[in-house]
């Protein structure tokens, strides 16, 4: 089994906006027939199966610049290749509307499969989330609650389904399962120590505001 870290590198109004997805192959799967340890196929699957649905809820001022994919050995969670596969995208979001900067975002919550906790082993993550944005003003009430019509809710539901379902390519055949990971600091560096499979994904009713995505004054 191998683990993949997929970084969605976007930009809006001069601010970098990154979201990180994680996937794994099935147990006892031979990746020798895939390219660069499967990073090419995984990045291509995210671009073709996840990005089109994300694009529908992101504003036209947001640009997905590229998708970077890293592969890890699941036994010790070490990088198998020093450099990632980088797949260019350079596409904008499709949602028109006024925008209150790059910081407002929607929180997508992952429900994870239960795991047996080993007494002396690292604990698997219990939860995970993505901060997807920026969002147009029309979707956020003064209270901060999300205001979505039937069509918009369906679009976000499709995003959640894409993030919680398996992805892959037909040729060469590949299949990647969504996971979330737990990381610990080892010798000053953050290191993956455990993971849990994604069971479901849903959008939180309240919006969020990422100060790290605000333009510098």
Segment 46-75 mean pLDDT:
96
pLDDT of residue 137: 96
**Rg (the chain; Cα; Å):** 18
> Looking at per-residue confidence, does 209 or 118 come out higher?
209
Instruction: Give the tens place of pLDDT for each residue, 154-174.
Output: 999 999 999 999 999 998 899
Dihedral of CA atoms 64, 104, 125, 78 in degrees, nearest 10, equals: 30
Q: In 3D, which of 106, 109, 96, 98 has the Cα closest to residue 210?
A: 106
pLDDT of residue 217: 56
> pLDDT at residue 22 above 80?
yes
How far is the CA of 115 from the CAs of 125, 162, 195, in angstroms?
Answer: 9, 23, 9
Q: Encoding tokens for residue 19?
A: 């979201």
Mean pLDDT over each residue of the chain, to the nearest integer: 92
pLDDT of residue 29: 77
According to DSSP, the residues that pair with 176 across neighbouring strands are: 167
Say if residues 159 and 151 touch (Cβ distance below 8 Å).
no
pLDDT of residue 151: 95
Domain count, the chain: 1
3-class SS of residue 189: strand
d(CA 189, CA 196): 21
Say if residues 41 and 174 touch (Cβ distance below 8 Å).
yes
Instruction: Give the tens place of pLDDT for each residue, 61-110.
Output: 999 999 999 999 877 888 999 899 999 999 999 999 999 999 999 999 99
d(CA 110, CA 195): 13
For 101, left (φ over 0), alpha (ψ -120 to 50), or beta?
Answer: left
> pLDDT at residue 27 above 80?
no
- Angle, CA 72 vertex, CA 201 and CA 88 arms, to 5°: 70
Residue written as tokens 């031979």?
A: 30
Domain carrying residue 93? 2-213
> Looking at per-residue confidence, does 189 or 150 come out higher?
150
Q: In 3D, which of 205, 3, 215, 10 has the Cα closest to residue 108?
A: 205
Instruction: Give the tens place of pLDDT for each residue, 109-146.
Output: 999 998 765 556 678 898 899 999 999 999 999 999 99
d(CA 139, CA 95): 11
């Amino acid at each position: 089994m191998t683990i993949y870290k997929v970084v969605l590198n976007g930009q809006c109004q001069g601010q970098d906006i990154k979201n990180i997805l994680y996937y794994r192959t099935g147990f006892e799967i031979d990746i020798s027939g895939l390219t660069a340890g499967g990073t090419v196929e995984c990045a291509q699957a995210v671009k073709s199966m996840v990005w089109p649905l994300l694009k529908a809820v992101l504003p036209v001022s947001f640009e997905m610049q590229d998708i970077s994919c890293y592969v890890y050995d699941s036994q010790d969670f070490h990088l198998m290749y020093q450099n990632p596969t980088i797949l260019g995208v350079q596409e904008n979001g499709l949602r028109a509307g006024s925008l209150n900067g790059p910081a407002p975002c929607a929180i997508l919550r992952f429900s994870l499969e239960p795991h047996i906790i080993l007494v002396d082993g690292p604990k698997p993550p219990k939860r995970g989330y993505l901060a997807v944005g920026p969002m147009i003003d029309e979707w956020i009430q003064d209270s901060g609650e999300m205001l979505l019509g039937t069509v918009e809710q369906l679009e976000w539901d499709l995003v959640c389904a894409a993030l919680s379902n398996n992805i892959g390519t037909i040729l060469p055949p590949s299949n990647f399962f969504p996971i979330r990971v737990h990381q610990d600091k080892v010798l000053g560096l953050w290191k993956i120590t455990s993971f849990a499979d994604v069971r479901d994904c849903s959008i939180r009713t309240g919006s969020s505001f990422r100060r790290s995505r605000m333009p510098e004054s």
